[in-house]
Structure 1
């Protein structure tokens, strides 16, 4: 039995001691290592399997970390982490207290730039290349690895526009596998497909039009070809672009056959690739994303003016249901959040009813469009913000904890957070009845609380909260699904009759009639939210208190503290910031 190569490699310096003939064996071992760990610990799989050869070739040819290597998004960086000193701790990937699932500057000197959202790599790498030139370091190499889905983003094209006139020593590697999380879409995807198969198209190459030295496409799994081309490009000065063709999920048959499901498959059999079914799945309530997806189809079948929009997340948002049943009114626009929002605005001017579904943290990338193109013009776009609140293992780049705060300051915008699936369903129904201004509906990742959620529609009065429980001493005000944690916290508490609970539902407009009743009756008020404590729901209640002269009231705000929340199981994260069920119970007990 031949000796393991990977066993003796902890850094790229050790990798570079291998002969080129040994590298294919190392690639096989690295692929198996990733598969075996992710099979039991979970995480992103397909993207990293697809760049195993590229990862080895990059660290073999270039002098990392002195040469700077930036991975776009980071789903593809597992092999990079394993080869750069994190092999022995890789089993802690994405776990609480363990290493991040994405490149992170504070984690390793080999992680030149922190990433989680897409399409940042070219801009960041160009910035590094310009800095090196200004610092007089003319020999340093700067490499950005970006996928074909990410390069279609506006930010990537803004960067390419600058790269072409920069004369910077930068190498852009396009990892072309025709996939993001879902299949790539759009004209650029079709163009790249034509380049692969039509030599005449290559002569009129769009990258060359940017004044960037283009080479390829080459087989990204052919190590000798990769090494040869990278070594050649290493000697070429100025902006360079290498187009490589890879297969997402390479080396695991099931992952190659179902690239969407095996992007992040959960637990699976490392040898066969078969997914390990989660127990009692049929008995669980549905995911919030599925409640959105099925409800949208139901509404769209009755209301012909409804359209659905998502930037590259049809599966993750469950807009896929509408894409399957009513494809002419459902639009996956690719990784283009800004475009998605303004596209929705344009549709709204012509009487359509756009449901624009974007993850909470991804809407951050289209903030100006929400203000300038939608709210300023009072266009009734319906924003459905998935993955709001803590999302778990994806960590700081994906925790949807800022939306309440960053949206609350925008005029003309209604903000609603359902406590359960029924409220999500009913606010979607209400929104399409004919609002005269935009609304943002934010809901969490994962399963809900109600199995029998598909009830007849009932409109929700805009700006009105609800009383969940009356009490004599303490008023707890919650917004969104964290209210269910509050209910669980006080369900068996002593002096239960002292605690009142109000589901405020709307952050904007606040239910001021209900708030006046609360402030007149209760001296102690506790606000609970799964958003940042600065500028969010609790801040709105404090402002109400100050505005209306309730200065003698005792108000305590519970929420996400003023720091970035790292990765880990959601319950562990809630516990780490004092929002576990037990912590809420202690807080309520102390107040009694």
Structure 2
């Protein structure tokens, strides 16, 4: 249902709705050990224990952790004894005996009932694995561990759990191994690699330079800055760590903190680091930063704490579809009073923005960059030049129509410029750089010398374009001859597709931007041809 810990909340609601409606269907959630890193999972389980509604939570424990140091600790193993005990715990006769014993002790008196409950808890804690009593304390009946690769045992336990009409919340702890059953495929991969060794070498000759990403550029630039400034640290949160961050981790292991899927903690932790005199770069994917917005507002922005937010996977994300699409960060970051919001249009600008963020010590700042390859095929890491806050730039000067791009969409504005130039239309292309504060001087200049202003961003309604509209409306610039048109992500979720296909669906390709300009100029037929190409 979801990759995050929200699923427990969801099934708690479904279970209560079922009870109120008088239905009898079973409500089951399957979660992974990754989701238990988020505090919301425990809130949900505690609430489930309090409600005491019938539901089953299956914890798929792959014994994998986002935090390497945790993996070094003791792991839960499944042997014949634990398998037998799991079957006993889930059996109908044992559960009925346990419920009958509870009823007897309640009739005897409160003291006897509490004593019996403690004895039951300690006995089950001694039989169960380390940490099993935690789920009991939350109000869930713990069964496990169960070998997830022993289908017969697993089916037996689940059938016993399903056989009881009134059982309350149950947690079934299933142990799985991600690598089990992969030996043959690994051998096949090795043999294939040996057979294709020559072809790999020829491919590497054809492609001597591997495509570099914005993430690579960011980390390499930050390493350069960190070698000069010992106060720079990195805090990363998310489902998995970007491979590019391994470079910083190797160079500065004591200044790199991967907190796993705990974005809320990452933000507040970074705030504490900043208050202690360090310069934290808090690296979180756009869609995951949504989970930590309360901390961004209260623990950072309200207190003007200089945390540097690096928002990755901004905009459309191709095959990951709407789940990890970074459509909203421009909106929810630019509405904060103390936040500086910027976005690079290429790798060189990214270097400059890293340098800019390093030198801001009076308030929070953020910048976003997309997935995918860089604009240029090759780049040389050098010292970034700090950008004056709120200062944009004009890349191409033209007339009549001005494209004001934000972030990676500046490149698509340049593509639209090239398409229109073939039709004899000269347009201005400007790189806003900053969503907040806006370059007021640049905006006045564009409105003064053009009839049409088109803002382009890879974000939802209410972002950069809205900031521009607010300024030009309040300052009376819309009262003159200028006409403004925003190009943003459509007001819907864009499903899985290739990046280029998603841009076409969103109307953000160079052809779509050029078509907008042609429509403004009254050349509707040519605009339609561009839209269809």
TM-score bracket for the superposition, by shorter chain length: 0.7 to 0.9
Match 1:507 to one of 435, 439, 442 = 435
Counterparts of 1:158 and 1:187, CA distance in 2: 25
Q: Secondary structure at the match of 1:525?
A: strand
Comparing 318-327 and 405-414, the one that deviates more: 318-327
Equivalent in 530, 536, 543 of residue 458 of structure 2: 530
- Asked if 1:132 corresponds to 2:62, the answer is no
Partner SS, residue 60 of structure 2? strand
CA distance, structure 2, for counterparts of residue 531 and residue 290 of structure 1: 23
Cα distance change of structure 1 residues 203 and 367 upon mapping to structure 2, 3 Å threshold: closer
Offset of residue 489 of structure 1? 2.2
**Higher fraction of helix:** 2
The Cα shift of 1:571 comes to 0.7
Aligned to 2:343: 417
Partner of 2:412: 485
- Quick one: distance in 2 between partners of 1:203 and 1:563? 43
Query: Within the alignment, does 1:457 sit opposite 2:384 as a pair?
Result: yes
- Number of paired residues? 463
Does the aligned pair in 2 maintain the 1:152–1:188 contact within 8 Å?
Answer: no
Structure 1 residues 311, 351: closer, same or farther in 2, change over 3 A? Answer: same
2:75 pairs with one of 193, 200, 220: 193
Unaligned residue ranges in structure 1 (runs of 5+): 1-70, 74-117, 258-267
Kindly indicate whether residue 329 of structure 2 is the aligned counterpart of residue 403 of structure 1: yes
Provide the residue aligned with 1:149 in structure 2: 34
Measured against aligned partners, the alpha-carbon deviations of 1:369-392 in whole angstroms (never above 9, x if no partner) come to 111110000000000000001111
Which of 162, 165, 169 is the matching residue for 1:239? Answer: 169
How far off is 1:322 after superposition?
Answer: 2.0
Specify the alignment match of 1:212 in structure 2: 140
Match of 1:123 in 2: 9
Aligned partner of residue 241 in structure 2, secondary structure: helix
Q: For residue 425 of structure 1, give the secondary structure of its aligned residue in structure 2.
A: helix
Cross-structure match for 1:283: 209
Kept in 2: contact 1:254–1:273 (CA 8 A): no
Secondary structure of the corresponding residue to residue 494 of structure 2: coil
Aligned CA distance change for structure 1 residues 142 and 420 (closer, same or farther; 3 Å): same
Cα drift, residue 72 of structure 1: 4.3
Q: Is the 8 A contact 1:404 1:537 kept in 2?
A: yes
Superimposed CA distance per residue, residues 65-96 of structure 1 (whole angstroms, 9 cap, x where no aligned partner): xxxxxx542xxxxxxxxxxxxxxxxxxxxxxx
TM-score under structure 2 normalisation? 0.81
Distance 1:350 1:496, change over 3 A: farther
Q: Kindly tell me: are residues 413 and 317 of structure 1, through their superposed partners in 2, closer, same or farther at Cα, counting changes over 3 Å? A: farther
- Map 1:92-491 → 2, pairs under 5 A: 118-137=4-23, 139-179=24-64, 183-185=65-67, 193=75, 201-202=129-130, 205-236=133-164, 237-248=167-178, 250-253=180-183, 282-313=208-239, 315-316=241-242, 318-450=244-376, 451-491=378-418
Judging changes above 3 Å, is the alpha-carbon distance between structure 1 residues 165 and 256 closer, same or farther for their aligned structure 2 residues? farther
Describe the shift of the 1:219–1:209 C-alpha distance in structure 2 as closer, same or farther (beyond 3 A). Answer: same
Taking the aligned partners of 2:518 and 2:463, their CA distance within structure 1 comes to 25
Shift of 1:325: 2.3
- Over 3 Å counting, the alpha-carbon distance change for 1:166 and 1:256 in structure 2 is farther
- Over residues 461-513 of structure 1, what are the superposed CA-to-partner deviations in whole Å (9 max), with x where a residue is unaligned? 11100110111211110000111111122224335562011000000000001
1:558 and 2:491 matched: no
The CA distance in 1 between the partners of 2:53 and 2:73, in whole Å, is: 26
TM-score, normalised on structure 1? Answer: 0.73
